[in-house]
């Protein structure tokens, strides 16, 4: 009979800081947690808050990779805490809030403000250009394959991982990032959106848009929803180049 292995003691190093506390400075705090079978970082953080330190702040809603709230840097890599199994990690785990977004406290960030600004800037809604809204009019039929393709891009949960992993945005904070480009690709695919290519060019045809992207593909490699960001950015680049070079 094989002896059961003793569970590991995880050392969770959290970067803590409260920007609203004048006396606080960014510092690391270490917690020790006994690992359990199938444990995720979401479980670890709740364990810490419940039994060790109720002042530790972090975000979560769905705990199933759907809401995108628990995004953070795990050993320097942006990911969702609820989808990260501790068994895949070393005993020493470092956690930090996603950079670039407004920090609320500890691991909690205000990504919603940034995302809202992005959506307003890129006008991520259907532009049908009809003067009058006719609620009785039947929606045009769409091929299931196209609907699937649109849905695939619509799976973005705005977690901000692609933004934190983006090398371009580190140097150019006005860059729209993969999340923005993915949204533009989504509306460009949609036949209900009547915007011309020139109108899309006005939104992303510059250094803050698709031509600013340095194709480092951090976005593609960290996206928790595994969206086809590399392909869609390449597609937008080709389309915007054609539009830009057209006389």
Q: Which positions touch other proteins (CB under 8 A)? A: 73, 76-77, 165, 167, 170-171, 196, 198-199, 201-202, 205-207, 209, 211, 213-218, 221, 228, 230-231, 234-235, 237-238, 240-241, 243-245
Least distance to other proteins, CB of residue 141, Å: 27
Question: Is the Cβ of residue 52 or residue 242 nearer to other proteins in the bound state?
Answer: 242
Question: Is the Cβ of residue 119 or residue 170 nearer to other proteins in the bound state?
Answer: 170
Question: Is the Cβ of residue 189 or residue 217 nearer to other proteins in the bound state?
Answer: 217
Least distance to other proteins, CB of residue 36, Å: 28
Least distance to other proteins, CB of residue 241, Å: 5
Residue 235: is it exposed, middle or buried by C-beta count within 10 angstroms (0-12/13-18/19+)?
Answer: middle
Question: Is the Cβ of residue 15 or residue 62 nearer to other proteins in the bound state?
Answer: 15
| Bridge-based pairing state of the strands 27-34 and 71-74 | unpaired
| Tokens, residue 114 | 């940034």
Element (H, E) at 247: none
Least distance to other proteins, CB of residue 96, Å: 8
| Tokens, residue 46 | 């709740």
> How far are the Cα atoms of 80, 85, 196 from residue 66, in angstroms, in the given order?
10, 16, 32
Which residues, at least 6 apart from 51, have a Cβ–Cβ distance to it below 8 Å?
none
Least distance to other proteins, CB of residue 219, Å: 10
Task: Please give the full DSSP string across 144-178, using - where no structure is assigned.
Answer: HHHHHHHHHHHT----SHHHHT-HHHHH-TT--HH
Least distance to other proteins, CB of residue 45, Å: 20
> How far are the Cα atoms of 45, 182, 214, 217 from residue 220, in angstroms, in the given order?
26, 11, 13, 5
Question: Is the Cβ of residue 43 or residue 212 nearer to other proteins in the bound state?
Answer: 212
Question: Is the Cβ of residue 62 or residue 241 nearer to other proteins in the bound state?
Answer: 241
| Tokens, residue 135 | 């609620």
């Amino acid at each position: 009979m094989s002896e059961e292995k003793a569970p590991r003691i995880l050392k969770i190093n959290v970067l803590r800081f409260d920007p609203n506390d004048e006396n606080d400075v960014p510092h690391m705090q270490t917690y020790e947690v006994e690992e359990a079978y199938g444990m995720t970082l979401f479980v670890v953080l709740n364990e810490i808050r419940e039994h060790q330190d109720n002042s530790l702040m972090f975000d979560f809603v769905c705990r199933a990779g759907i809401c995108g709230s628990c995004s953070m840097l795990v050993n320097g890599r942006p990911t969702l805490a609820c989808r990260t199994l501790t068994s895949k990690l070393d005993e020493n785990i470092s956690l930090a809030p996603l950079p670039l977004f407004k920090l609320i406290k500890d691991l909690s960030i205000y990504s919603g403000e940034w995302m809202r600004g992005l959506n307003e800037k890129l006008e991520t809604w259907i532009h049908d250009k009809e003067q009058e809204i006719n609620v009785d009019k039947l929606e045009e039929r769409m091929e299931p394959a196209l609907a699937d393709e649109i849905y695939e891009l619509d799976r973005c949960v705005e977690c901000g991982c692609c933004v934190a992993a983006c090398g371009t945005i580190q140097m150019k904070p006005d860059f729209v990032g993969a999340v923005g480009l993915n949204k533009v690709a989504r509306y460009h695919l949609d036949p209900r959106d009547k915007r011309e290519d020139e109108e899309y060019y006005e939104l992303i045809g510059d250094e803050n848009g698709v031509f600013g992207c340095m194709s480092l593909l951090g976005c593609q490699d960290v996206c928790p929803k595994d969206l086809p960001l590399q392909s869609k950015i390449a597609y937008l680049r080709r389309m915007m180049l054609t539009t830009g070079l057209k006389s």
